[in-house]
Structure 1
Amino acid sequence: MRAVIAPTPGGIEALEVVDLPQPEPAPGEVLIRVTAAGVNRADLMQRKGLYPPPAGITDILGLEVSGDIVSVGEGVTDLPPGTHVAALLSGGGYAEYVAVPAGQVATVPLGISLVDAGGIMEVACTVWSNVFMMGKLQHGDTLLVHGGGSGIGTMAIQLGKAFGARVIVTVGSAEKAATCRELGADLTIDYKQEDFAAAMSEAGERADVILDIIGAKYLDANVSVLATAGRLIVIGMQGGVKAELNLGALLSKRAAVMATSLRARPSPEKSAIVSAMVAQVWPLISDGSVRPIIHATYPLEDVGLAHQVLEDSSHTGKVLLTP
């Protein structure tokens, strides 16, 4: 099968489309013929050598796919061959076939195409596990999402609004701001034009939950805009890994700072997240309340172009690959 690896860490040129043996499903796994694979910033980090796969996981890039099941391993009885599914992976998605634990697989929700389904599992699980399971976002809360035009951002806006939250986002362009408002964002802040903390203060806004992809660069400002008992959840480090935390400010607000990673979690934890997310999010996709936002789809051979789009942050929503 064709697959994408980056045997030597580096830039776009490090990506190689190679021929590798087709995997076989182990007990408890299913083998998926990939229709589409989502491209995520974690893949760019892996290509650069900054985010290696967990021990025992393939070095083929890719953390989510859609496709149809072609065979199942011992013990799998509820996902027969031919079922159209979306899957959350620890790796292996940039390929024609991938084997994945059955608990990390879900049938594609009604109302979306099999191709578009390639861009829902990673973002939906990331948002659900962080904003709702850890952040405990409630009806009437205010959610601040950094990177509102990203795949995670566009999903977080929609889910936040679907569950009755006020949603504030930071974006990098007027076009992304317009899309975020169309998706339901109540306030958009162009971080290239103004300081988000100052803008929120001027508007009298405080955040009960913050979903942050920036990390160190935003730590102080994030804490400053937290509401009393607010929860800051850091899921990315685009702005660095080290910063000084004002514990006094955190203590005065009785607030919490949490940092999480989805990829490194053991399969039973991922399966529990998938199950909880599907129960809550799939009905919203099926009735049209929430939809995947797809920026562009590229053939597997153009994986370098797909990575460049994410490098440039020129996308709104998800970028997909089709083997």
Structure 2
Amino acid sequence: MFEILIIIFCLFVNALLAGAETALIAVSKPTLRELVKQGDLKAKQLLALRENPERTLSIIQVGITFVGAFAAAIGGAGAEEFISPWLIQKFRINEFVAEIISLIIVVVPLTYISVVIGELVPKTLALRRPLFIASLAAPWLQKISLLISPLITLFEWSTKKILNSFPQKHVHEEAFPENSTVELNVLSAPNRQYVFNLLKIEKTRVKEILVTWSQVVFVEDTQTQEQIENTIITSAHTRLPVLKKDKVIGILNAKEFLAFQKTGETNWQSLLRPAYTIDVNMPILSALRLMQEKRIHMAIVYENNEKKGIVTMEAIFEEIVGDIYDEDDDGTLNRILSSISFKGKHIKRKY
């Protein structure tokens, strides 16, 4: 009975160490660094263990090897002391055969239990909840390290010496994605939503976020400066497409136009910037890269040479972070306009 209790204890310790080994591998360093910044002491212990993998694995392997050997020795002794004499007495077989059979009777079920209970179950649980399991194991691993420090140091040194004989290629861990679930768990709800939006944005097309042409505020090259100024003020847009006989010939920056008004010049068409076109089915990430490359905030969207609308950098950003509001979205400008000569006109939708 005493031998059985010792074997159960050894299996329990083996399970803890196996789970700790898997959990420490599964939990990511970026996650631990973020928790350390938040003042998590256990995360600090875990990060110290992760930063020195040779020593950490030495602690775990020494423990697993020791309890495995101890359980096998106890099991073998029990088989020789109790089962072998019983077989000789019961079946009248010679001592050598009895010892072989008794060892099989002990080793087979012990191996099965050791693999399932001592390895597979704890490792699977550790993969499901790596941070929790690793946090439980960290204090005990550090205590074990202190108790058998000389032995651990020897194993650590030997491991590094052998590894140094192999060609090394240094790759930053950040070059590869870490366990996504673990990364998201340490993010706040809004930040998690940003990540989900970024994943979703890869499949989003320009046609899903464009402002349809019927909603676009534009000016024509034949309009007077006063008419254009009125359009700028009532629309509250920073950029307006400029048309010539239904063809977009450029983009007018409202701030530049209003400043130009102060000079007394009349050739406002000289302010026009190129109007870049984008296909309606272009992925919005490709559209964003194009707009960054061309240093523009607005592009005209076409489908089969027909104007479909416009797309702005702000609209693309809103797909990631949600609605972006301007100061004038509160209606202040509408209230000002309603009290002067623009009475009856209203600020149009922002884009």
Normalised by the shorter chain, which TM-score bucket? under 0.3
Q: Which has the higher helix share?
A: 2
TM-score in terms of structure 2 length: 0.22
Q: Which has the higher strand share?
A: 1
Higher relative contact order (CA 8 A, sep 6+): 1
